[in-house]
Chain A
């Protein structure tokens, strides 16, 4: 069964510093991988996704992630953190339900805090 593991439930970075949020996946088939962001008291917003093709994917708000099959990783990065990046970030993998539908299986989330 497919699953994702997010290392670090809380990450703090200084404003302007590099953001690195880690995600490792387990999948018996080529994975479809996603990063979502959840701002306080809001729903989830898709940041970026990897399905096929280029392994470095760019998303909204300056974020990008690289799919590394050899490392089974899909880490999220941003070169320079902004105060508005403070949020909860979820990595997810597309999996199949028992009924053949497709669903998302989420990691436990990483809360990103930006230090002024």
Chain B
């Protein structure tokens, strides 16, 4: 498995501001993913962050709202820009350690509340 950490673990933010969430993995991985889990709901993939290329976004998510960086094989950031209360969610990063093993490992999540 992998040890995945996220910072911050939680935050309360004001409307109109931005928050950058960090995801750190203890081993080098190719595939990293960012998910959103809205209150009482399931997980929805925001984007796939591949090192050395632009992140690819799922339908309904755009780079201007959720810019992603992937500077190396162990680290990624997700920014939630110009936040509104509708952005209040848990944001989780996950990694696929071994391509073809079909296993994703998840970080503990970042609980974001927007006032």
Task: Give chain A's interface residues, CB within 8 Å of chain B.
Answer: 32, 34, 36, 41-46, 49, 51, 90, 94, 97-99, 101-109
Cβ proximity bits B7-50 to A, threshold 8 Å, 1 near / 0 not:
00000000000000000000000010100000001111100101
User: What's the count of A-B pairs with C-beta under 8 Å?
Assistant: 58
| Measured CA separation A21–B37 after assembly (Å) | 21
Taking residues whose C-beta sits less than 8 angstroms from the other chain, chain B's interface range is: 20 to 34
| Measured CA separation A94–B4 after assembly (Å) | 21
Overall SS of chain B's interface: strand
Question: Known: A42-B108, A43-B92, A43-B108. Is A99-B56 also a contact (CB below 8 A)?
Answer: yes
Within the complex, which residue of A46, A97, A105, A106 is in contact with B103, where a contact is CB–CB below 8 Å? A46
Query: How many Å from the CB of B68 to the closest CB on chain A?
Result: 14
Query: How many Å from the CB of A32 to the closest CB on chain B?
Result: 5
Question: Max chain B CB contacts within 10 Å: which of A36, A94, A99, A107?
Answer: A99
| Measured CA separation A107–B48 after assembly (Å) | 19
Cβ proximity bits B73-115 to A, threshold 8 Å, 1 near / 0 not:
0000000000000000000101010000011111111010000
A97 and B102 within 8 A (CB):
no
Within the complex, which residue of A42, A43, A97 is in contact with B56, where a contact is CB–CB below 8 Å? A97
